[in-house]
Amino acid sequence: MDACPECAAPVTAQDRFCAACGRNLRLRRTPVGGPPALPDERCPCGEGDYGEDGACPQCGRTRPSPRDRVEFTLPGVAGVSDRGRRRKRNEDSMAFGRARGRGLAVVVCDGVASSERAEQASQLAADTALDVLLTGVLAGSDTEQATTDAATSAGAAVSRLARPEAPELAPSCTFVSASVGLDGTVTVGWIGDSRAYLVAESGAARLTTDDTWAAHLVATGQLTEEEAKTDRRAHVLSRWLGSGAESSTPQVVSLRPATAGALVLCSDGLWNYLPEPEHIADALPLGVPPLEAARRLVDVALEAGGHDNITVVVVQLRGGG
């Protein structure tokens, strides 16, 4: 006998819905609006708890924002999002869920810092895209089409956040998603410079290509890889989600890993420090649950300086393709 994750009422493996609260037991996902913040009742100064006004009575430090550090885990997938050491707020967002007996879906979005309400844009995009992807997973739809539909829906939702009087500040974000079926097929879609990596027993690979001006100049032979790393346009996006974007159609790739391993989706707060697939593979602890693996990768970025927001979602893959 199991318990409903919503109300703790007893349920069985055959139940589709909880008789007590009506929750869909075949579908579990991150909460809309983002995972809850980690409990943080004591101030880092160690002298006391935060007061009702959210400030430490001893040192005056205010309680961290609920978005500063969030973690969430489901069977086979977990994510961590951290504000980092330099940014004033966390503008990254993650959303993921799994449908029992069907598969799972993951979305990571990074709010563009030069736009307003970047954290709202990234969270809305992540939640909107996940809804579309999970609907496709439940229906057994074509995953590449579902990925395109998810990005298009997310782009439309973010575009509606724009203020007509300030189009130059319109909220925007990057996008990377993954759907994983029961047969091991992985479908990844992206717009912008958030990335997906595959780390398997047979080797590691980067599954995405950045939508940045520097990456475009490398692809056309105008810059070398080394020159691009220091070019001022290295992180200037050529594609994004939101107002002013030419298209919300993602690049999409599907594969079926032959061996077991992990799928890593992340914002540039991680890959700035671990850009190559072998860097991710070397830092990824083996034989540990996804949450521990995600925490370790975030810690690596924090230890290296944590100059940006850092979001990492790790998915266990069985392989066999």
Could you read off the pLDDT of 223-244 as tens digits, one per residue? 777 766 676 766 789 999 998 8
* Strand stretches in 128-238, DSSP E: 172-173, 175-181, 186-191, 195-200, 203-206
Q: What are phi and psi of 83, to 5 degrees?
A: -65, -25
pLDDT at 272 over 90: yes
Query: In terms of pLDDT, which residue wins out, 41 or 250?
Result: 250
Encoded amino acid at 272, one letter: N
Kindly report, residue by residue over 108-164, the tens digit of the pLDDT. 999 998 899 999 999 999 999 999 999 999 999 999 999 999 999 999 999 999 998
Give the pLDDT mean for 193-220: 89
Among candidate residues 99, 103, 91, the one with its CA nearest the CA of residue 173: 91
The residue-averaged pLDDT of 68-93 equals: 96
Cα(251)–Cα(234) distance, integer angstroms: 20
CA dihedral sign of residues 68, 76, 183, 286: positive
- On the question of pLDDT at 60 being above 90, the answer is no
Task: Tell me how crowded residue 177 is: count the other CB atoms within 10 A of its CB.
Answer: 32
Asked if 317 and 257 touch (Cβ cutoff 8 Å), the reply is yes
3-class SS at 127?
A: helix
Cβ-contact 314, 77 below 8 angstroms? yes
Radius of gyration of the chain (CA): 20
Residue 309 in contact with residue 81, Cβ under 8 Å?
yes
pLDDT of 27? 93
Q: Which of 143, 122, 71 is nearest to 242 (CA)?
A: 122
Q: Is 139 exposed, middle or buried (0-12, 13-18, 19+ CB in 10 A)?
A: exposed
- Residue 17 has what DSSP assignment? B
Mean pLDDT of the chain: 90
pLDDT in tens, 27-37: 999 999 999 98
The whole-number average pLDDT for the span 87-104 is: 96
